[in-house]
Amino acid sequence: MRDDATRLIVDSMPGLAWSASADGTLILVNSRLLVYTGKNTQDLEPDGSGPSFWWTHVLHGDDVASWIAAWSRAVEAALPWEIEHRIRQSDDTYRWYRASIQPVRDGDGRVHRWYGVSIDIDDGKRAESTLAAAEDCLRRREQVLDALPAIVWSATPEGEPNYQNQRAMRYTGVSLAEFKLEWQDRFIHPDDAGMVARAWIRARKSELPFDVVSRHRGVDGSFRWFHTLAEPLRDEAGRILQWFGVDVDVDDRTTTEEALRTTQAKLSRASEIAMVAELAASIAHEISQPLAAVVANAHASHRWMSADPPNLDRAKLTAERIIRDGTAAAEVVSRIRALFKRSDSKRALLDINEVIGEVIRLVADEASSRSVGIVTDLEVGLPPMLADRVQVQQVIANLARNGLDAMNVVDGPAKVLSIRSRRDGPDTLLIDISDEGTGFENVERVFEPFFTTKENGMGMGLAIARWIVEAHQGRLWATRNTLRGATFSFSLPIASRGGS
């Protein structure tokens, strides 16, 4: 091949090419190398300080030593070699290159020339270091996540767990793969599982934070209380990409609170007993009246029958009165028993809005048959309360039915029963049930046992509702609405973070 053709090839190859004599003295560089480095051939000529000197003009200072070392080894071994290095370009910036250097031997096998070509690998190198930096960053984050004094997890938008930190696995003793198959059935306490499942579905549907307190099973089979908080991460369009959550162990705090609560419960038990005594006195009074009448009529009947001749008509009349009064007394007893149907209070963590929903389903037909609309204003994401579901349902149902009764006016304009739930301060939930009915004069009178203005009423509903609410450390009161109707409000304490 002719010399200028060779030159053309060497100059147009996509790399920095050069040749040197056996001891490293520069013989030839391609024009690309000169253009890249902004040097001319003289700049790269040896100045007598050593064969590798010329490279030091263009190499990165940190790469010179390794270049010289490799070069010396290569000269000694007379074998091809490769090295990665940075070259300073004419604009004083550096790029990464990979140099491949080949020896060419003469007839006796001695190295006669070195040919080198350096290919630009800067983009790859940068990508590599970005990747390494990202991996490093991830590793560090992972370390932080594992060091946090909490269980950290994430889940898909569909609610399937897809990440857990080491602490989670240490607590449950199972891998993520195993955990995600049966986390609700196996790792949440059976008494909390339903509540947790419902709250999790609700959070995902409403796309609002998930906030529950529940018991989680540990590797030794025992349960500890955890406070779980999770929030969705969204993309720019607002779609949920992931849920990120933490479970913080609140068991120790819960145990202390439990002890405190037991003391409080003992104290409030004393006032409960007083309330029950008051109720019992009212009930006894209500029953003793018809009983006294029964006894009096029984005596009278006995007299009419013992007369000579017996007055059967009178005896029959008094016997009928006995039946009437006896039935009335039995009625009082059976209705009171119905009101106290479930005296064994079973408390669990409850979502008040859920209970309100259940009551609404219960009274919906009654409301629509009276042309009353039920409007709700329920604050989302309310924390749970610790209460007896049936008793709280009973309170709300009683207040709702009283509201419906108070609006039971034939041919009036359409009426509305409003039910509202909200948080009232850090520890309390507040529920208002408001109607557009007749209202009342005396706001305290309505709570008295056996006070009723209804034909078939017994006047025990509000007394018992107040008793239930107070037994839950809450308050129940009534207010007259400005325009018309009444509002019954009750407060219930939020389950403390510990939850029991």
Q: Which is nearer to ligand ADP, 322 or 433 (CB)?
A: 433
**Closer to ligand ADP by Cβ: residue 17 or 462:** 462
The answer to whether the peptide bond before residue 309 is cis (omega within 30 degrees of 0) is yes
User: Do the strands 475-480 and 81-88 form a parallel or antiparallel pair, or are they unpaired?
Assistant: unpaired
**Closer CB to ligand ADP, 351 or 435, in the complex:** 435
CA angle in degrees (0–180, nearest 5) for 316-322-324? 105
Q: Strand 372-378 and strand 240-249: pairing?
A: unpaired
- 221 or 413, CB closer to ligand ADP? 413
Toward ligand ADP, which CB reaches closer, 113 or 480?
Answer: 480
CA separation, residue 292 to residues 116, 284, 316, 337 (Å): 123, 12, 19, 21
- Minimum distance from residue 447 beta carbon to ligand ADP (Å): 7
Q: Rounded to an integer, what distance in angstroms lies between the CA atom of residue 39 and that of residue 33? A: 8
Please state the closest distance from residue 281 (CB atom) to ligand ADP, in A.
Answer: 17
CB of 419 to ligand ADP, least distance (A): 13
Q: Would you tell me how many other CB atoms lie within 10 Å of the CB of residue 65?
A: 10
Binding site for ligand ADP (CB under 6 A): 398, 402-403, 406, 435, 437-440, 446, 451-454, 457-463, 486
User: Which backbone phi and psi does 239 adopt, to 5 degrees?
Assistant: -75, 145
How long is the chain?
Answer: 500
Smallest gap from Cβ 315 to ligand ADP, in A, equals 35
Amino acid letter, 333: V
Cβ nearer to ligand ADP, comparing 24 with 459 = 459
Our separate counts of H helices and E strands in the chain read: 13, 17
* Smallest separation, CB 498 to ligand ADP (Å): 35
Closer of 96 and 451 to ligand ADP (Cβ): 451
Among 76, 77, 75, 52, smallest CA distance to 64 is for: 52
- Per DSSP, what are the bridge partners of residue 119? 98
Continuous segment of H or E residues that includes residue 442? none
CB 491 within 8 A of CB 392: no
CB of 365 to ligand ADP, least distance (A): 19
Closer to ligand ADP by Cβ: residue 197 or 283: 283
Q: Which residue is nearest to ligand ADP (CB)?
A: 461
Nearest distance in Å: CB 405, ligand ADP: 6
In angstroms, what is the minimal distance from the CB of 440 to ligand ADP?
4
Using alpha carbons, list the distances in angstroms from residue 369 to 15, 88, 298, 408.
Answer: 90, 89, 45, 10
